[in-house]
Amino acid sequence: DAGVIQSPRHEVTEMGQEVTLRCKPISGHNSLFWYRQTMMRGLELLIYFNNNVPIDDSGMPEDRFSAKMPNASFSTLKIQPSEPRDSAVYFCASSFHLLGRRNYQPQHFGDGTRLSIL
């Protein structure tokens, strides 16, 4: 079975450029999560979608970050303009979850995108 697929695996770009990270969740999963991992802050949840609708975006750092999920099989995380402090590994994860129901299905992670902003 295909897992969560992220692209690109690595991205190096200059400050000020637009960066778009892509994610394809596991088929059948209705919840999608974007995380950021840095040495200083560890793993942080940026945004969470359920049935393509953003449920919790309280972790999105600032207006430079935006995320979309136009359909059940695709999501993007965009940074515009990018800054050196955005350098991190960005993970996408998916699971199945019914809102309002107790549900502890594990989140399955993609391999991550290692982003370097020069």
In angstroms, give the least distance from the CB of 73 to other proteins. 20
> Closest CB to other proteins among 47 and 79?
47
Site residues, other proteins (CB under 8 A): 31, 33, 42-43, 45, 48, 50, 55-56, 89, 91, 93, 97, 99, 101-104, 106-112, 114
> Closest CB to other proteins among 19 and 88?
88
In the chain, the N- to C-terminal Cα span, in Å, equals 36
In angstroms, give the least distance from the CB of 69 to other proteins. 14
SS3 content of the chain, % helix, strand, coil (to 5): 5, 55, 45
> Closest CB to other proteins among 31 and 75?
31
Give the integer Cα–Cα distance in Å for 78 and 105: 27
